[in-house]
Amino acid sequence: MSRLLRLIKIITVILKYRLDRLIDPTSLPWPLRILFRLSPSHWLSEPSEPAGKRVRLALEELGPIFIKFGQMLSTRRDLLTTDIAEELAQLQDNVPPFSEQQAINIIESALKQPIDSLFETFDVEPMASASVAQVHAATLPDGKQAVVKVIRPGIEKIIAVDIALMFTLARILQRYFPDGRRLRPVEVVSDYQHTIFDELDLLREAASTSQLRRNFIDSDLLYVPEVYWDYTNTNVFVMERIEGVPVTDVATLEAQNTNMKKLAERGVQIFFTQVFRDSFFHADMHPGNVFVSIENPDEPSYIAIDCAIIGSLSEFDLYYLARNLLAIFHRDYRLVAELHVECGWVPADTPVTEFEATIRTVCEPIFEKPLGEISFAKLLIHLFQTAARFNMQVQPSLVLLQKTLLNIEGLGRQLYPELDLWNTAKPFLEDWLRERYSPTSVLKQLKKYAPGWLEQLPHLPDRVFENLVEGGPSGPQQKNQLQQLDHVQEQLDTYRRRQQSLGWAFALLLVAALAGTGSDNFVIIEQIPPYSWLLAGAAVTLLVFRR
């Protein structure tokens, strides 16, 4: 019944904000077209607000899970129109807190101790409350200041119902909406399902926080709070409480004489360091999760929290991403097109010349602006949208990368409007590629993987043969190689049979000879009678001819 009531609520909100106007009724099958014509929505007034704003207001009214979905959807600018994407980016995840007693019950149940034994002090008034969890301040028994993150009670059931309904709506959109197949709504909801359920596991977030902290433990660029593992569980996460200025509080940063240019540039350095050095990047660096340390305003450092969403790229994607970015920097559109085909981001039969011309059409008007005014993140979005015409399937990891770059560039421009992302990023990428394929780096890679290669080396011929046989010949050259391997295998089998024949012959020879002595004692070969040798020779001859 709860699912039915929730569906009725969703339909009501859709009609209230006239989202039905976004559907082309001529694309519907005739039964749905009749229902659509008879819908009471036609008695409602025509919408006066823009489509993007109506979508945002509808998601806000539907509640926290839909708000979070809208926030995630705002990063898929390769799928959305600009106005809708901009509106969805304004969604705020402000949710009323749940009761203090519920929070205490969850903590005590997860950590198996009374709240007074766990903490010296515990602030029942939450510091912040969001759709998935809320945060309380606390003091550990040893005096350390901490924050306690607690999963919202019953959130799993709410999410399950809303996700099921989202899948239903997505399938309808994919089938009947004019751009349904291009927008891939079912795929988008599936990505969101994985993301939201990952956020429910606070052990996973704690592990990611610990990894990010270790990556920057000796750096003055970024500080990540310490995880207190003895107080952390699937439903409860306790970590060090940090003191810093919200990154959006520009007035306070300027009042303490923070070096804003260096702060903006360091944000870019942190991003590229996480992506290319570690291939492990904080993918939810919106302003609410980023603070600035107050310790050294002239050499400012960042503080990052909430590592629930982490991105990672394969070595393959990192290499091609770096080369693509540098090719864009140099305005080498031919190379950009070739790299997209070479790495498989677009189909192999994509006409490179046509793709190059399309990329040039997108990029050239942008490059005519001063470098300081060019939005690198928006350029990538335009490229993704353009490549979609050539059936480019954007990988989830690249979407997270695009989202993070949008956040980083937006923060950087807010802190220091003259930020030149191009000149900040270009030397980093050039140095990374140079170092990545230097003799020293190659030697390190060899040392890293050599033990595994040596372990597999004796099995290599058998595996090559098995793969060729399983894969089957697909051309004259492969057929010839397979025939040669068959011939080698036949020779090996013949050699093995001969060895077996000789072994059996020698064994029979000894048995026959010994049997002819009629003695159970040890026998010297010279003492074996001649007729025994004749009997053994006959047996050997018979065996060899049979073979």
**Catalytic sites, residue numbers:** 284
Phi, psi of 243 (to 5 degrees): -115, 120
Cβ–Cβ < 8 Å for 119, 152: no
pLDDT mean over 423-437: 79
Q: How far is CA 21 from CA 18, 51, 63, 153, in A?
A: 6, 9, 22, 37
pLDDT confidence of residue 55: 87
Cβ–Cβ < 8 Å for 362, 383: yes
Tokens of 228: 């207190």
Which of the residue ranges 9-13, 236-240, 296-300, 363-367 has the most confident prediction, judged by mean pLDDT?
A: 236-240
Start-to-end C-alpha separation, the chain: 78
Whether 525 has a pLDDT exceeding 80, the answer reads: no
Cβ–Cβ < 8 Å for 98, 135: no
Type and span of the H or E element at 506: helix 476-515
pLDDT band at 249 (very low <50, low <70, confident <90, very high): confident
pLDDT confidence of residue 522: 40
pLDDT band at 524 (very low <50, low <70, confident <90, very high): very low
pLDDT band at 139 (very low <50, low <70, confident <90, very high): very high
Whether 429 has a pLDDT exceeding 60, the answer reads: yes
Which percentage of the chain shows pLDDT scores above 90? 21
pLDDT mean over 450-471: 66
Nearest residue to 244 via CA among 231, 270, 263, 219:
263
Phi, psi of 129 (to 5 degrees): -140, 130
Tokens of 383: 């490229």
- Cα radius of gyration (the chain): 34
Cβ–Cβ < 8 Å for 281, 310: yes
Token pair 């609520």 is found at: 9
Whether 519 has a pLDDT exceeding 50, the answer reads: no
Tokens of 374: 């060019």
pLDDT mean over 185-192: 79
Spatial CB neighbours of 80, under 8 Å, sequence gap ≥ 6:
73, 74, 88, 183
Whether 88 has a pLDDT exceeding 90, the answer reads: no
Vertex 268 angle, CA 264 and 272, to 5°: 165
Which percentage of the chain shows pLDDT scores above 70? 69
Spatial CB neighbours of 230, under 8 Å, sequence gap ≥ 6:
none
Whether 61 has a pLDDT exceeding 90, the answer reads: no
pLDDT confidence of residue 124: 92
pLDDT confidence of residue 114: 94
pLDDT confidence of residue 460: 65
Nearest residue to 13 via CA among 79, 45, 59:
59
Lowest mean pLDDT among 171-175, 192-196, 237-241, 438-442: 438-442
User: Alpha-carbon distance 318 to 312, whole Å?
Assistant: 9
Q: What is the DSSP letter of 163?
A: H
Hey, which residues does 145 pair with through a beta bridge? 139
Cβ–Cβ < 8 Å for 318, 324: no
- Burial zone of 467 (CB within 10 Å; 0-12 exposed, 13-18 middle, 19+ buried): exposed
Please say whether the dihedral angle defined by the alpha carbons of residues 114, 120, 125 and 131, taken in this order, is positive or negative.
negative
pLDDT mean over 148-154: 92
Spatial CB neighbours of 491, under 8 Å, sequence gap ≥ 6:
none
Top pLDDT among 365 and 304 is at: 304
pLDDT mean over 161-166: 85
- Burial zone of 468 (CB within 10 Å; 0-12 exposed, 13-18 middle, 19+ buried): middle
If one counts every other C-beta atom within 10 angstroms of the C-beta of residue 47, the result is 15
What residue ranges do the domains of the chain occupy?
Answer: 1-93, 95-241, 244-437, 438-467, 476-546
Write 120-128 long-range contacts (CB < 8 A, 24+): 122/148, 124/100, 125/100, 126/97
Spatial CB neighbours of 438, under 8 Å, sequence gap ≥ 6:
none
